[in-house]
Amino acid sequence: MKRTISATVNNSSGVLNRITGLFSRRQFNIESITVGRTENPDVSRMTFVVNVDSQRGLDQVVKQLNKQVDVLKVRDISEENIVARELALIKVVANPQTRGEIETLARPFRASIIDVGRESMTLQVTGDHQKVEAFIDLIKPYGLKELARTGTTALKRSSKQQSQDLHYSIIQ
């Protein structure tokens, strides 16, 4: 089962290597991993998408991550209300006759053209995994020259629940 795990870690050298080594030693397959500094320059956020066989495997991943000295907090956010995005940069074969078609295809995906050359153009698309995959499949027949993708990065959505606490005041 595919799970999304978010971890905050110390922003220091070697942390990424130790964490990925942990996954490697335990033979967990990382589908994607993204790392970036948070609002605190001393802390980085890692987002892993992993395939585990069972809940027991997931528990083992989380426990092993929590044992790492540089890991501050680990959460399985797969079933929480999250915002998750990927980014893809796609260089596609585009001559002057096909540029208009490609631009028309990009519009519904809100993909943007970020570079145009004589024989190619580079597009940027962001969104969830399915959206990025769908756009790549659509644009593939024109001829992919290069493709670069990030992994999934995610944050928990802000809570929409209102406080259930009732506040009374006495008016005299």
Q: How far is CA 54 from the centre of its chain?
A: 22
The DSSP H or E segment spanning 130 is: helix 129-139
Contact by Cβ (8 Å): 68, 77: no
Contact by Cβ (8 Å): 112, 34: no
What residues have CB less than 8 Å from 78, skipping those under 6 apart? 2, 3, 4, 5
In order of their start, the domains of the chain are: 2-76 (3.30.70.260), 83-156 (3.30.70.1150)
- Residue-level pLDDT at 29: 87
- Residue-level pLDDT at 57: 84
pLDDT profile of the chain (172 residues), mean per 10: 92 92 87 93 94 87 90 93 94 95 96 96 95 96 95 85 53 58
d(CA 87, CA 127): 7
- Residue-level pLDDT at 168: 56
- Residue-level pLDDT at 25: 87
